[in-house]
Structure 1
Amino acid sequence: MSKNILFIVGSLRQGSFNHQLAQAAEKVLAEKGATVTYLDYSQVPLFNQELEVPTLPAVQAVRDAVLAADAVWFFSPIYNFSIPGVLKNLTDWLSRALDLSETRGPSAIDSKVTTVSSVANAGHDHLFPEFQQLLTFIRTQPVGEFTGALVNPEAWATGELTVSEETIAKLSAQADAVLTAIN
């Protein structure tokens, strides 16, 4: 049976460099027999406990997508040497207990195999430790060596990211780690 990997791209911009990196990883996973779905979380509001009950449809939709996935792969830009706010907000929602009467109970992302890749010109050495700490704290299982890629200079003018063979090899190793962890 094919494994379903949920891609969460940390930039809401259409055609973002991180979305283009995700597309390269999708091709790698397809060659390994896995399927990919992309999470649309654009309608998830800023986290607010007053909005938790009843569960908002947008929140339920992202929880359902995460619950249905075998693993979650984040593709994150770097904003001020850190995790983008929209991505941190999403993890705040996903890490909340599904049953709020048991606040330490399982969440939608609890125990999921996770990994992270990023395209940026600088800051991977800041971003990846933050993700490692966050993903461990919210009780996921981070696997593989996180992949950092640089933006090719002409991409700023053309909008087209060139993914190097070296980066493809790193994505392939990362995909192997994910698939091994969920088998």
Structure 2
Amino acid sequence: MKKVLFIVGSLRKGSFNHQLAELAEKALEGKAEVSYLEYTDVPVFNQDFETPVLPAVAAAREAAQDVDAIWIFSPVYNFSIPGPVKNLLDWLSRAVDLSDPTGPSAINGKLVTVSSVANGGQEKMFDSYTDLLPFIRTTAVEPFTATRVNDSAWGDGQLVLEADKLAELQAQADALVAAIG
């Protein structure tokens, strides 16, 4: 079975992007096995910490290497990629063998798609991912999907997607599965 790693960019429990990931998991049901990356212990990138490889970094690399694709669920921070996600991608994109800095990384050649729940700024953020993903030697799988936080969620904490947004999420899941082959 195909394997997809979910990276949720919001570290808040019950975040709207985590709820979106759960809906995407349903869209992949029967088509791919999903795992969620726990990366809260990955430190801010610092070359001084590259060797020996820290356990949190090693675990994140192993999780990324063991899948066919990565799906990022990204909030928008100041019209761009959230710092924790960018930091994680910085770690994952470093060469595994530091004696050859141009050598393969844990995410080298991985398929990556992105979804976002936010009330604006997704287009600029998606542009940032579109620029970054090829640079770190991954392949972007489009469409990327964006949705806003429904008004009632601010009170009850429950993300609700309208039928057209659920259909877009399903189309994105189908595109990712097709790209995996």
Distance 2:99 2:161 in 1: 46
Note if contact 1:24-1:163 (Cα within 8 Å) is conserved in structure 2: no
Note if contact 1:6-1:37 (Cα within 8 Å) is conserved in structure 2: yes
Distance 2:173 2:56 in 1: 28
The question of 1:23 aligning with 2:22 is answered: yes
Q: Residue 125 of structure 2 is aligned with which of 104, 111, 127?
A: 127
Distance 2:55 2:153 in 1: 37
The question of 1:87 aligning with 2:93 is answered: no
Q: Residue 50 of structure 2 is aligned with which of 42, 52, 58?
A: 52
Q: Aligned residue for 1:182?
A: 180
Q: Aligned residue for 2:137?
A: 139
Structure 2: gaps of 5 or more residues = none
1:108-128 Cα offsets, whole Å, 9 max, x none, are 011001000000000011110
Aligned-residue offset at 1:177: 1.2
When normalised by structure 1's length, the TM-score is 0.97
Structure 1: gaps of 5 or more residues = none
Worse-superposed segment, 172-181 or 16-25:
172-181
SS of the residue 2:45 aligns to: coil
Aligned-residue offset at 1:136: 1.1
1:69-110 Cα offsets, whole Å, 9 max, x none, are 110000000011111000000000000000001001100011
Distance 1:164 1:106 in 2: 41
When normalised by structure 2's length, the TM-score is 0.98
Note if contact 2:2-2:33 (Cα within 8 Å) is conserved in structure 1: yes
Note if contact 1:10-1:76 (Cα within 8 Å) is conserved in structure 2: yes
Note if contact 2:31-2:177 (Cα within 8 Å) is conserved in structure 1: no
Note if contact 1:119-1:148 (Cα within 8 Å) is conserved in structure 2: yes
Give the 5 Å matches for 1:64-103.
64-103=62-101
SS of the residue 1:21 aligns to: helix
Give the 5 Å matches for 1:140-179.
140-179=138-177
1:2-27 Cα offsets, whole Å, 9 max, x none, are 11110000011010000000000000
Note if contact 1:18-1:118 (Cα within 8 Å) is conserved in structure 2: yes
Note if contact 1:77-1:120 (Cα within 8 Å) is conserved in structure 2: yes
Note if contact 1:144-1:173 (Cα within 8 Å) is conserved in structure 2: no
Count residues in correspondence: 181
Worse-superposed segment, 171-180 or 71-80:
171-180
Give the 5 Å matches for 1:102-113.
102-113=100-111
Partner amino acid, structure 2, of 1:36: V
SS of the residue 2:26 aligns to: helix
Aligned-residue offset at 1:33: 2.2
Distance 2:4 2:13 in 1: 20
- Percent identity, please: 57
Once superposed, which parts of structure 1, at least 4 consecutive aligned residues long, lie more than 4 Å away? Answer: none
